[in-house]
Amino acid sequence: MPSKGSKRCGYILPGGRGRCKKLVPDGKHIYCEYHQAIDLQRFRERSDRAPGKMYSTAKWKRLRGAHLAMQPLCEVCGKAGQVVDHIEPHRGAADLFFDSENLMTLCKPHHDAITQIEIKLRGKGANGKQIAQYKKQWVESNGNSRQSASFGSRAKAGRS
């Protein structure tokens, strides 16, 4: 039987088919697991590509350039980095978006891989901090040892 906090997924189905009525058991989420994942993916696509938004600001370009100068290689595989990723998902929050400590360099394949992980975690109800923690662990366990020490120890980067 549905628990007290449960409710129906309110996702609006395409093609005028009304709303998804799947039961969301814990009542904590607006959408069922499936639609939550879709919603997050849509959100990310919007925020990653939206022109004229934070990604196109001079502030971000400076920050991104500075990060790539310091960490030009993918923090997982050590190949040339192509994407500066936000460790804790910013979801449009400027404080997380422009936090230089919240960035990591990834190659395209590893950025894609970590994005999929993020979507799955979000679907399970993980919050931003939990996702950040998981991503750091994932990078450390998949990365080579030379790169894996870089988190939170920027001061060491200058030493050799």
Nearer to Zn ion, 107 or 131 (CB): 107
What residues line the site for Zn ion (CB under 5 A)?
Answer: 9, 11, 20, 22, 32, 35, 74, 76-77, 107, 110
The H-or-E segment that residue 104 falls in is strand 103-106
As given in the structure block, the two tokens for residue 96 are 């997380």
Min dist. Cβ of residue 118 to Zn ion (A): 16
Min dist. Cβ of residue 57 to Zn ion (A): 26
Nearer to Zn ion, 22 or 44 (CB): 22
Nearer to Zn ion, 54 or 113 (CB): 113
Min dist. Cβ of residue 42 to Zn ion (A): 14
| CA dist., res. 112 & res. 68, Å (int) | 18
CA distances from 118 to 2, 40, 132, 146 (A): 28, 9, 9, 24
